């Protein structure tokens, strides 16, 4: 590339980025949302859930118990679970689960739940009537189930003891010796890499594609619609320079968005790691890190060129949007599919399938597995796909009708 | 004899089956204002785009005086397309600077030229403003400044006064004449014959993709033996203007069917209109 050509490409890319970022909506779309999405999802959402759970725990519930004789210790346990109850006689029903006359009062929330409890020689039968669309009713059911489960355990122990058996050996004849986690020979870094490999490739693939949609359309079909492309084509720059400059701008904007999102994801994971033993810092070699960067770059070249080409084919912003948005499926399905592919003993051809190859490569590399054969296959195939996408984009940019617009 | 700057030889331009221009031969000389006059769809914009190197001719050549095709010498040209082509999130000066940089001109040089012409167009105060809120006239003036900032030899203007108020149109025309007086060459496309007569040294009448007349206003009158240019134009373009191919004609069988399926029948009578309400 000559110096003049380099300067023109730089001028195009710079202008595109400056113009694009002057729109405050863009700043929100490419900086604020990617940065906050995962922290909000992983940190605030659990906090919100916790506060909701605490609110439910504090509820005083009222239930009806229909029984022919309630064991005293069970009645005590129910009272301890913050549930007021009134006792009624069991109605005459073929099955305890039949709502019968009680349907209306549960549906209209006169009572949060109805427990039916019937003694039958040595066993008891029970059923709970509740309204699954009501939080209070669901909570009443859960508390009742917990209380009944505890009562059942104590009843079981009592009966084992009465039979002259040892409770512990009867109920727990097979036991793990020592710490369960000590049995896993993978290091904590490898385990973290494994967990991250389930998130990061998916996030990168979807976000790379989706965050490139808006700039791709704006810089091609948008220019065409606004009539700015014609003036640009009269300038002493080749259409390849134009394509390269625009590609560089879209790749920069997309890259910033993806980086911020990954940063947000890592921050959220770091927060979780500090507050629990769920995840740690992944253990990656320098080669793995370099190959991760290379694979993302190749993916970005391919995706951005493909999107620019599709957008350039379109006569208007609306048309480009209606093509590029559903084309996300071309990334989404392989991305989801890749998550369930078993990497142990995986055949080499998987690493030659477009989109799947890069996602599998990312999964392997995040687990710090550098397998030369796989690297060569995904490296070469990705270069081929990226070149094809770039060639397709250059063909679209060389069309004469790109100066005409439907508007 | 003035020096030829741009030579168009035997140029034909086809878009699929439509022949937009047929066997065009035209020489543009240094220091003249050439008016391309024709009705909508006559081929003026296509000819300007060929001159600017946006389109390639289907046959024939568009070369500069040194024999080089215009695509290799675009810095010789300053172009103001009909749509002006300004970026609304950039200031007027940023728009101008962007194009100048693409021409490889240092900012200081393009600023000096811009400042000079901005005075004439009463645009100096507006150079630092974003073009989003600009009126049509201000946009046109900014596009003109942008086309002049790198010091082109030939200025291509596509309907530069379309949609402008009287004062703005007057200012643009005055600048064009001033550029000619300073030795510049201007190709000025318009469908207003009176405007062409007022501004141009030479008028080229285009109709249905062909050049029907080429000469000074006086020569045109003499050749056509008419009292006014308007009469001359009418006599030269008596055959019915072709209609532009609609998009509907170009669409595929499937998209055509799809569109027609969702388009209700256009009523033909008042009764049908009332029934469709």
Low-confidence ranges of chain A (pLDDT < 50): 406-407
Same domain? For A82 and A148 the reply is yes
User: For residue range B161-195, what is the model confidence (pLDDT) as tens digits?
Assistant: 887 888 888 988 999 999 999 889 999 999 888 88
Concatenating the DSSP letter of every residue in B152-188 gives -SEEEEESTTTT--HHHHHHHHHHHHHHHHTT-EEEE
CA distance B89 to chain A (A): 6
Same domain, A288 and A385: yes
Task: Output the pLDDT for position B87.
Answer: 93
Residue A60 domain boundaries: 56-167
The answer to whether residue B1 scores a pLDDT higher than 70 is no
Which residue did the predictor score with more confidence, B215 or B2? B215
Please say if the pLDDT value at position B264 is more than 50: yes
Q: Tell me if A348 is assigned to some domain.
A: yes
Number of domains in chain A: 2
Give yes or no: residues A108 and A233 share one domain: no
Inter-chain touch A12–B102, beta carbons under 8 Å = yes
Q: Which residues of B touch A231 (CB under 8 A)?
A: 79-81, 83-85, 99, 143, 146
Same domain, A78 and A147: yes
Q: Is residue A43 part of a domain?
A: yes
Average pLDDT over residues B240-255: 58
A98 touches chain B (CB under 8 A): no
Residue A180 maps to a domain: no
**Same domain? A395 vs A256:** yes
Residue A400 has its nearest CB partner, among B55, B75, B86, at B55
Round to whole Å and give the CA distance between B120 and B137: 14
Q: Is residue A306 part of a domain?
A: yes
Asked if A375 and A213 touch (Cβ cutoff 8 Å), the reply is no
Q: Are strands A61-67 and A113-120 parallel, antiparallel or unpaired?
A: parallel
Write down which residue in A109, A134, A167 finishes a domain: A167
pLDDT > 50? residue B246: no
A261 and A297 share one domain: yes
Is the distance from CB of B187 to CB of B28 less than 8 angstroms? yes
pLDDT of residue B156: 94
Which of A132, A167, A202 delimits the end of a domain? A167
A217 & A95 share domain: no
Query: Domains in chain B, start-ordered, CATH in brackets?
Result: 4-89+150-276 (3.40.50.300)
Residue A172 lies in a domain: no
Q: Are residues A274 and A341 in the same domain?
A: yes
> Is A290 within the bounds of a domain?
yes
CATH code, domain carrying A160:
3.40.190
Q: Between A and B, how many residue pairs show a Cβ–Cβ distance under 8 A?
A: 77
Whole-number mean pLDDT of chain B?
87
Contact B148, B117 (CB under 8 A): yes
Domain check: are A32 and A108 in the same one?
no
What local confidence, expressed as pLDDT, does residue A83 receive?
Answer: 92
> Domain ends where: A108, A133, A167?
A167
Q: Is residue A318, in this structure, part of any structural domain at all?
A: yes
pLDDT band at B247 (very low <50, low <70, confident <90, very high): very low
Q: Do B85 and A15 make contact, defined as CB atoms within 8 angstroms?
A: no
A319 in reach of chain B (CB within 8 A): no
A123/A18 same-domain check: no
The answer to whether residue B244 scores a pLDDT higher than 60 is: no
Q: Choose the mutation target among A230, A238, A399, A400 for the interface with B, i.e. most B CBs under 10 Å.
A: A230
pLDDT of residue A133: 94
pLDDT at residue A67, as a whole number: 92
Measured between CA atoms, the residue of chain A closest to residue B104 is A4
Mean pLDDT along residues B149-166: 90
A154 with A239, same domain: the answer is no
Question: Rounded to the nearest 5°, which phi and psi values hold at B20?
Answer: -75, -35
**Is A99 contained in some domain?**
yes
Compare all CA atoms of chain A with the CA of B73 and give the residue at the minimum distance. A236
Cβ neighbours of B102 in A, within 8 Å: 8, 11-12, 235-237
**A144 shares a domain with A285:** no
């Amino acid at each position: 590339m000559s110096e003049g050509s380099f300067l023109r490409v730089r001028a195009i890319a710079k202008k595109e980025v400056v113009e694009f970022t002057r729109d405050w909506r863009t700043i929100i779309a490419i900086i604020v949302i990617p940065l906050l999405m995962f922290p909000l999802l992983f940190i605030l959402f659990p906090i919100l859930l916790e506060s909701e759970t605490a609110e439910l725990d504090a509820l005083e519930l009222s239930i009806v118990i229909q029984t022919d004789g309630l064991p005293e210790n069970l009645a005590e346990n129910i009272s301890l679970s913050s549930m007021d109850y009134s006792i009624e006689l069991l109605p005459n029903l073929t099955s305890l689960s039949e709502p019968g006359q009680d349907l209306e009062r549960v549906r209209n929330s006169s009572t949060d739940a109805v427990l039916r409890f019937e003694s039958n020689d040595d066993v008891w039968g029970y059923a709970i009537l509740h309204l699954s669309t009501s939080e209070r009713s669901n909570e009443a059911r859960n508390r009742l189930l917990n209380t009944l489960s505890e009562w059942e355990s104590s009843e079981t122990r009592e009966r084992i003891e009465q039979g002259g058996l040892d409770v512990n050996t009867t109920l727990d004849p097979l036991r793990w010796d020592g710490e369960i986690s000590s049995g896993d020979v993978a290091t904590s870094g490898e385990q973290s890499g494994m967990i991250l490999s389930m998130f990061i490739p998916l996030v990168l693939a979807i976000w790379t594609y989706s965050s490139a949609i808006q700039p791709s359309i704006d810089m091609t079909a948008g220019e065409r619609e606004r009539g700015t492309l014609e003036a640009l084509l009269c300038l002493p720059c080749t259409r390849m320079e134009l394509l390269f400059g625009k590609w560089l701008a879209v790749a920069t904007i997309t890259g910033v968005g993806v980086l911020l999102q990954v940063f947000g994801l890592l921050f959220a994971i770091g927060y979780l790691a500090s507050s629990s033993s769920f995840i740690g810092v992944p253990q990656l070699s320098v080669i793995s890190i370099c190959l991760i960067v290379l694979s993302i770059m190749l993916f970005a070249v391919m995706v951005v060129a493909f999107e620019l080409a599709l957008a350039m084919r379109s006569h208007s912003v609306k048309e480009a949007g209606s093509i590029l948005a559903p084309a996300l499926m071309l990334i989404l399905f392989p991305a989801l599919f890749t998550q369930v592919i078993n990497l142990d003993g995986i055949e080499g051809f998987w690493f030659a399938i477009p989109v799947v190859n890069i996602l599998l490569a990312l999964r392997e590399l995040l687990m710090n597995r550098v397998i030369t054969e796989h690297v060569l296959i995904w490296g070469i195939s990705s270069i081929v796909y990226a070149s094809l996408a770039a060639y397709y984009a250059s063909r679209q940019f060389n069309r004469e009708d790109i100066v005409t617009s439907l508007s | 004899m003035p020096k030829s700057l741009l030579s168009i030889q035997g140029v034909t331009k086809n878009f699929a089956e439509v022949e937009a221009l047929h066997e065009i031969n035209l020489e543009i000389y240094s220091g003249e204002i050439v008016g391309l006059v024709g009705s909508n769809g006559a081929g003026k914009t296509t000819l300007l785009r060929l001159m600017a190197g946006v389109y390639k001719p289907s046959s024939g050549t568009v070369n500069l005086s040194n024999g080089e095709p215009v695509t290799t010498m675009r810095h010789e040209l300053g172009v103001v397309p009909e749509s002006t082509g300004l970026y609304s999130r950039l200031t007027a000066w940023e728009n101008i600077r962007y194009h100048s940089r693409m021409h490889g001109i240092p900012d200081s040089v393009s600023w000096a030229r811009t400042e000079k012409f901005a005075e004439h167009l009463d645009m100096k105060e507006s150079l630092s403003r974003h073009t989003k809120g600009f009126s049509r006239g201000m946009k046109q003036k900014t596009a003109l400044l942008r086309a002049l900032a790198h010091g082109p030899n030939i200025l291509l203007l596509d309907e530069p006064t379309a949609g402008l108020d009287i004062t703005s149109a007057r200012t643009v025309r005055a600048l064009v004449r001033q550029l000619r007086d300073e030795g510049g060459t201007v190709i000025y496309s318009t469908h207003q014959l009176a405007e062409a007569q007022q501004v141009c040294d030479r008028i080229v009448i285009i109709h249905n993709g062909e050049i029907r007349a080429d000469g000074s206003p006086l020569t045109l009158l003499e050749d056509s033996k008419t009292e006014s240019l308007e009469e001359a134009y009418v006599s030269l373009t008596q055959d019915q203007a072709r209609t532009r191919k609609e998009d509907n004609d170009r669409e595929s069988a499937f998209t055509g069917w799809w569109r027609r399926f969702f388009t209700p029948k256009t009523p033909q009578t008042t009764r049908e209109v009332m029934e469709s309400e």
